[in-house]
Amino acid sequence: MERRVCGCHADGSLIGTLFFGWRVAGLPFVPFDMFDWLTRVLPGRLIAFGIDTMVNLIRLLRLISSTAKMAEQTMAIAGLFIAGTVSGVIARLILPAESRGFVGAIQ
């Protein structure tokens, strides 16, 4: 449990910092850029399936068309959060216990 919580806290802080830099300093927002890159790299059939599923869900829930952009941005942020959490858990499992305390406050 501790490993998952640690990864989630780090990801939340990272995403918050990236968002702050995007809004205040005009820096690129990494989740959006990564999502854009994924849509260019993944096979067209998979992208078409994802878009069709999202459109059908929006229609089913009778939501307005502007919801699609918000859903896309939410998927981008959630994707980075999940990928970071999984990466953090894997790193915590792989690293030996004695090397984990490399930052004074984090054990």
Helix (H) or strand (E) holding 34, with range, is helix 30-41
Which structure tokens are listed for 86?
């999984």
Closest-CA residue to 55 (of 46, 44, 67, 41):
67
Domain span at 24: 2-95
Q: Are 3 and 92 in contact (CB under 8 A)?
A: yes
**Tens-digit pLDDT profile for residues 21-70:** 999 998 989 899 888 898 889 888 988 898 888 888 888 877 776 777 88
pTM value surpassing 0.75: no
pLDDT at 24: 93
Residue 13 is assigned to a structural domain of this protein? yes
Query: What is the tally of structural domains in the chain?
Result: 1
Whether residue 80 lies inside any domain: the answer is yes
Rounded to whole angstroms, the Cα distance separating 83 from 99 reads 23
Supply the pLDDT for residue 8: 65
Tell me if 102 is assigned to some domain.
no
Which 3 state secondary structure label does DSSP give 98?
helix
